[in-house]
Chains A and B, each alone.
Chain A
Amino acid sequence: MATKTKPQYTGKRHRLDRPELLAPAGNLEKLKFAVHYGADAVYIGGQQYGLRSNADNFTFEEMKEGVEFAARYGAKVFVATNIYAHNEDLDGIEDYLRGLEEAGIAAIIAADPIIMDTAMRVAPKLEVHVSTQQSTMNWQAVQFWKDEGAPRVVLAREASLEEIAEIKNHVDVEIEAFIHGAMCSSYSGRCVLSNHFTDRDSNRGGCCQSCRWKYDIYEDDIQLFGMDEDKFTMGSKDLCMLENIPDLIEVGVDSFKIEGRMKSLHYVATVVHAYRRAIDAYMADPDNYELKEEWLHDIQKAANRPLNSGFFYDTPGAEDHIYGPEDKAAPYDFAGVVLSYDAETGLAVVQQRNHFKPGQEVEFFGPNGTSFKQIVGELKNEAGEPLDAARHPLQPIVMRVERPVQPMDMMRKRIRP
């Protein structure tokens, strides 16, 4: 990760209110884990009007269950209604928004003003958050949305820390910023590559990530580089601001948003856990705050692309793109979830999430301090029969753990050095 020149925000003042950590949740289980691992709020997609048509989006019933679960932790649930509607999408918006309000959703994240306007009219208990798809990056546009009734604006990913500071100086409104995850390399919403390449409407959830494909570049009918050279791409490295938490807090960002409704349970829990610890550590003692290497290492265990700091410090350059092969798998893989633990016997019941077997190195982690590595010993099923490996998805496996664990702690296994 490139460390860039930091602006002067660090150490100038200490912010008193804790920013919100906002996590993605592609389904109900991910919602529960995101909240359990420390998210103050989660955002999900419903059956309509969201930009991830491939995610297992929530029904109203699942939303209600999610809202109830989150409430036990004092966490909120937002719904992304961030498409740009076409004429035929207009019918049904009112009912859908009323359904969200009725399910106890705290806010919608909307890009199309007609969806914002309709929500304010028919579902006034829903807060309207202006989506990053609006590409808002100046204070007057932020002021406009505030005047329209939106208490929060999610800024364009192109806004720098300096620009965010200026916006906060001018307008008293909540500012949400993406701090981690995959990024559109275009202005969000200003890309219809998918429409042109595959007839899939990117602004209604059909994005097929053509920006990450490889292209040959020509000038005046001459191919500029030979076949053996790296090809052109628009694909960006992923955002990671874990090293810059104090800057983000002190500049006044109110909500720290993690991208990834399509990401795995393990990814969401790992990333939330890392940022939770960093934010809490800074808020507890800003003067003596130090970034812990361990948090960064944890992020790497779930990261699947190289990381960078986006536009926060500087316009991305050559080092911020992925010209070589894409999607290097993370060195660790999710192996299981702790269902229960018996302190007397030292045995835990672990639900299998990926194949594991005796002799493998695994690592347990959880939001309440669980953090240790061990070698997998003997495995049994619940009937007490020995197993040569944990082969079956979701099977409860009884295994000895070297330290105490808690339900919802996770076990990951190392898959490459």
Chain B
Amino acid sequence: MATKPELITSASSLEELVRYMDAGADAFLLGEATYGVRMPGDFTIDMLTEAVKVAKPRGVKIYAALNNVMDNHTVASLPAYLEQLAQIGIDAIVFGDPAILMNARSKAPGIPLHWNAEMTSTNYATADYWGKRGATRVVLARELNMEQVLEAKAKGSLEVQVQVHGMTNIYHSKRPLVRNYMDHQKEAGAKFAEGDHLPIDGVPVGTQEDGMYLIEAERPEERFPIYEDLNGTHVMSSDDLCMIENLHELMEGNVDSFRIEPILKSVEYNEVVIRAYRSAIDAYYEDPDGYEFNEEWLEAIQDVQDPKRELSYGFFYKEQVY
């Protein structure tokens, strides 16, 4: 029988990391905004060191997020950063930019590399292309359907990771779009509907904590979270992917790793979700043939789900055109 799939998430602090481990997560993607994109919180190298210390004895893996679009400035600091990551015993490096490969070969030899180009990791042949250059795992785009995901595992030679729960990023710009808009409104003398939201120079606007979202006129029910950070502006999906009912399809297909995206969710919510997926994975591997989906797992998630955000199957059962 295939090995039990990994249940991976992220955390914004060491405390959260421990709580999610207790809930059943067995791998973490952690990092800081300079190198990693869309982390729920920054893990400095010191925090990563601690994370590895806490996780190792429990058999939990810590992967470093270096999946940002890199500029010259960032690339200059890569050798030192990679050496540090190698020293503290990180379990894998997650990359999108080829500059990471160029450096990892000499600065972090032997550490597994996971290829994650977000929306553009779309087929197994390209995954194998990166495999030939050192990657051991592909993190597939979330815009693929079930057939494509299963085929990527069956035909490709890398480990396959897919997101199974939570929101997904649907737009990433280097531009500070929230600040730009606020500046424009200020300039235009626009009236703020409530209170004083005028941005103050030097104070970040539209952070993860600010709870901003967009609504498009023809889709009044859908709320698209938006936030800004060091890496620009991120727009997130209005629905939360939830594959718990159909997780067995992915497990039957021997998919190696299931990601729960914890960003913009409470710790309590994430704990419930992790526990539910933990239960499903454990039940399946105890007895694949006798496995039955337990409604309670889904109900537990539904109980904590924001009613204004739909639980969906994402693109798993969708036909797309172009």
Contact = CB atoms under 8 A, between A and B. Distances in A.
Interface string B148-171: 100110010000000000000011
Interface residues of A, number: 78
B223 A137 contact: no
A200 B180 contact: no
Contact of B184 (A197, A223, A321): A321
Contact of B320 (A90, A111, A200): A200
Contacts of B194: 222, 224
A87 B183 contact: no
B216 A191 contact: no
A133, A138, A211 pick with most chain B CB within 10 angstroms? A138
Contacts of B217: 214, 216
B181 A318 contact: yes
Interface in A168-226: 185-187, 189-193, 195-197, 199-206, 210-211, 213-220, 222-226
B214 A232 contact: yes
Given A53-B322, A163-B72, A215 B197 contact: no
B103 A206 contact: no
B211 interface: yes
B187, B214, B224 pick with most chain A CB within 10 angstroms? B214
A159 B226 CA distance: 24
B200 interface: no
Given A86-B122, A190-B118, A191-B119, A321 B180 contact: yes
A189 B119 contact: yes
B55 interface: no
A143 interface: yes
A260 interface: no
B144 interface: yes
Given A113-B130, A232-B181, A137 B122 contact: no
Interface string B212-226: 111111010001101
Contact of A206 (B69, B177, B322): B322
Nearest to B176: A315
B98 interface: yes
B203 interface: no
B298 interface: no
A139 B97 CA distance: 11
A319 B181 CA distance: 9
Nearest to A321: B180
Contacts of A11: none
Contacts of B119: 84, 189-192, 203
Interface size class of B (residues with CB under 8 A): 35 or more
Contacts of B152: 87
B163 to A, nearest CB: 13
A144 interface: yes
A53 B101 CA distance: 33
Contact of B188 (A196, A215, A229): A229
A195 to B, nearest CB: 5
Given A90-B125, A197-B219, A217-B181, A186 B171 contact: yes
Contacts of A137: 69-72
A114 B133 CA distance: 13
A227 to B, nearest CB: 10
A269 interface: no
Contact of B172 (A191, A219, A316): A191
B184 A318 contact: yes
Contacts of B74: 138
Interface in B176-201: 176-178, 180-181, 183-185, 187-188, 190-195, 197
Contacts of A218: 212-215, 223
A211 B177 CA distance: 11
Contacts of B171: 186, 190-193, 211, 234
A97 B165 CA distance: 38
Nearest to A135: B69
A114 B129 contact: yes
A55 interface: no
A112 interface: yes
Contacts of B126: 84-85, 112-114
A187 to B, nearest CB: 6
Given A137-B70, A190-B118, A318 B320 contact: no
B75, B78, B124 pick with most chain A CB within 10 angstroms? B75
Contacts of B315: 195
Contacts of A229: 185, 188, 190-191
Given A87-B148, A111-B120, A141-B98, A187 B214 contact: no
Contacts of B177: 185, 232, 234, 321
A327 B233 CA distance: 24
A158 interface: yes
B236 to A, nearest CB: 10
Given A193-B171, A205-B322, A222-B194, A144 B125 contact: no
A6 B298 CA distance: 58
A185 B214 contact: no
A317 interface: yes
A77 to B, nearest CB: 24
Interface string A313-327: 001111111010000
A117 interface: yes
B190 A225 contact: yes
Interface string B285-322: 00000000000000000000000000000010011111
Contacts of B151: 87
Given A158-B174, A232-B177, 18 more contacts: A84-B120, A87-B152, A90-B125, A117-B129, A167-B72, A187-B172, A189-B119, A195-B170, A201-B143, A214-B216, A215-B214, A218-B215, A219-B197, A219-B210, A222-B193, A226-B190, A234-B233, A236-B175
11 contacts: A86-B148, A138-B71, A141-B102, A158-B174, A185-B177, A215-B224, A225-B193, A232-B214, A318-B183, A318-B184, A321-B184
Interface of A: 53, 84-90, 111-114, 117, 133, 135, 137-141, 143-145, 156, 158-159, 163, 166-167, 185-187, 189-193, 195-197, 199-206, 210-211, 213-220, 222-226, 229-230, 232-234, 236, 311, 315-321, 323
